[in-house]
Amino acid sequence: MPGDEIIRVDHVSKGFLVPSVRRDTVREHVLGLLTPRRLDPLRVLNRVSFSVRRGESLAIVGRNGCGKSTLLRVLCGIYRPDSGSVATSAGITPILELGVGWNHELDAIDNVQLMGTALGLSLGAVNRRLDSILEFAELERFARQKLKHYSTGMAARLAYAVAFSAVREVLVLDEIFAVGDARFRARCENRYRELQQAGHTIIIVSHDARVVGQFCNRALLLEQGELIHVGDPDAVLASYRTVLDRSPETAEEIANAR
Amino acid sequence: MTTATNTSTPAPSTDPAWAGLVWTLVRTDFKARYHGTGSGFLWALLKPTAMFVVLVAVFSLIFRSEPNYKLKLIIGLFLWDYFADSTKAGLASMSSKSFLITRARLPTWILVVTSLANAIVTLTVFASIVVAYLLATGAFPGLPALIAFGGYLAALVTITVGISLGASVLFLRYRDLNQVWDMAMQAGFFVSPIIYPLSVVPERFHFWLFFWPPTPVIEFTRAALLGPTLPTTTANVYLGLLSTGILIAGAMVYRRFGPRAAEYL
């Protein structure tokens, strides 16, 4: 890998087999022995290649279902590509699927310790950052409350706070700045700028043209699992709008892209 | 030809961060199960003890001629309880920690192995109580017997790790596997010589009964602690091979399905 290249995605394809009839249980499998089913391959990513340079902010844009989230998961090593390879030379911290994914029977501190260590921090490091995490999420008063008593917004703020403080070299964000009130969003944006200035590499998925334009210095456009445009954010956003105009899409998506 | 590789930073086992994850998983598991109190842990010991009281009341009359029936019963019950509890927790371990698997890249086998920690603590406490009791009543079986006992407990833990590794990933595909396993556990309780002495079963079935992993563990433990003689070398080798075989089989299933676990969640 050349010196400033931190992630190289090489001809990555990823598909899922979608059965004509879904069988999730032993019972269905046993009863289903008599009626064979068809497995339809659903190609989500098709020979996607690109690389990410150290310190850059890369945006991934595309319509719903174009493969953005799958690509992020492959990048983070959560999904394994069917073919092709992902080579990374730095630790990656993902923030995916906000608002879900806590142990609801545990309080905030235990959950922060769980998620922090799962994201690769040592327990000592998590404990040292505990106060600043809770402060960032504005949840100091609720630190000993079980997560089941939290609102969706509170849980999402906690998720951001943990991931923002657990950032290793690369931060991967799905739909950043989509939660919280204006004040919390502003705090996230500040933190994002700080990380950028500190030299972290950031990859974000967003539908929001403002986020892509303001925070990213390169963008790539995915359409039906294929990479169709890589380059300057403004140029990529322009192609994105063309893609949206060509196909019947929801008004919301078009509005966000303007 | 396709290749799928994921070269990445530090090897999980040497990364000190995972030690923090292991400890946090064990601690929060304990906390969630016993509501954070040490006395809540007593429930784990109380369950097989209550079962013991009920069974003794009924069966010690029937099996009056069996020497040491009560001790044999409680040893069988605790070993069985560990087996049932740990495999049940192990089977659900990946599924119940799905919020970690889909959001972070981590060695998922850690989730499986740590889910057994609670049951292992209970097993250890029980083993200490049994040894203390034997000491106090002057029935101390001697050092070789204690070493054998330790070996049998290790074999039992190995067996449950193997079953849990395999079952945890299969459960993500077959969502009623827990029901199937519950049924197997119910039948398995009676297949194992827990409430009845093995001698009541006709000799020609013994060979088959020993394929069910808890049977040799329970029988050999009883023989080691209560006599009359220690199990033979052949018997020990058999149990060693059985537990290693189950661990390898479970690890192979895990290796086959584990890497795609996140896709099923």
Partner residue facing B262 (CB), from A79, A88, A105? A79
Q: Give the separation between CA B53 and CA B71, rounded to whole angstroms.
A: 12
B234: domain range? Answer: 50-264
Q: Dihedral angle at the C-alpha atoms of A228, A92, A204, A104, nearest 10 degrees? A: 130
Residue B23 lies in a domain: no
Token pair in block for residue B93: 């371990």
DSSP H or E run through B88? helix B69-96
Average model confidence (pLDDT) for chain B? 85
| Residue A153: pLDDT band with limits 50, 70, 90 | confident
Give the Cβ contact number of residue A155 at 10 Å.
22
Q: Higher pLDDT residue, B11 or A124?
A: A124
A47: domain range? Answer: 5-91+169-257
What pLDDT was estimated at residue A159? 85
Which of A255, A213, A205 lies closest to A237, judged by CA? A213
CB pairs under 8 A between A and B: 122
Q: Give the contacts of A215 (CB within 8 A, at least 6 positions apart).
A: A57, A59, A189, A192, A196, A202, A204
Contact A103 B17 (CB under 8 A): no
Q: Within its chain, how far is the Cα of B262 from the centroid?
A: 26
What pLDDT was estimated at residue B237? 92
The reply to whether A121 touches chain B by the CB within 8 Å rule is yes
Cis ω before B216 (30° cut-off from 0): no
Residue A211 lies in a domain: yes
Q: Give the separation between CA A214 and CA A186, rounded to whole angstroms.
A: 13
Quick check: B73 and B195 in contact, CB under 8 A? Answer: yes
Q: Higher pLDDT residue, A151 or A253?
A: A151
Q: How far is A84 from chain B (nearest CA, A)?
A: 6
What pLDDT was estimated at residue B14? 39
Say how many domains are in chain A.
1
- The complex's ipTM? 0.78
Contact A25 B174 (CB under 8 A): yes
Enumerate the residues of chain B whose CB falls inside 8 A of the CB of residue A80: 4, 6, 259-260
Residue A226 lies in a domain: yes
Token pair in block for residue A222: 């995915």
Q: Within its chain, how far is the Cα of B104 from the centroid?
A: 28
Say how many domains are in chain B.
1
Residue A51 lies in a domain: yes
Enumerate the residues of chain A whose CB falls inside 8 A of the CB of residue B101: 78
For residue A39, give the CATH number of its domain.
3.40.50.300
Residue B179 lies in a domain: yes
Residue B37 lies in a domain: no
Which of A120, A197, A172 lies closest to A9, judged by CA? A172
Contact B24 A123 (CB under 8 A): yes
Contact B28 A113 (CB under 8 A): yes
Residue A20 lies in a domain: yes
Residue B121 lies in a domain: yes
What pLDDT was estimated at residue B162? 96
- C-alpha distances in Å from residue A42, one per residue of A100, A137, A244: 26, 39, 22
Q: Is the pLDDT of residue A243 over 80?
A: yes
Residue A127 lies in a domain: no
Q: Which residues numbered 45-64 in A keep a CB inside 8 Å of some CB on B?
A: none
Residue A106 lies in a domain: no
Q: Is the pLDDT of residue B3 over 70?
A: no
pTM of the model: 0.82
DSSP string of A42-68, one letter each residue: EEEEEEEEEEEETT-EEEEEE-TTSSH
What pLDDT was estimated at residue A35? 67
Q: How far is B118 from chain A (nearest CA, A)?
A: 17
Residue A158 lies in a domain: no
Residue B13's φ and ψ, nearest 5 degrees, are: -70, -25
| Minimal-distance CA residue of chain B relative to A17 | B263
Contact B100 A114 (CB under 8 A): yes
Residue A200 lies in a domain: yes
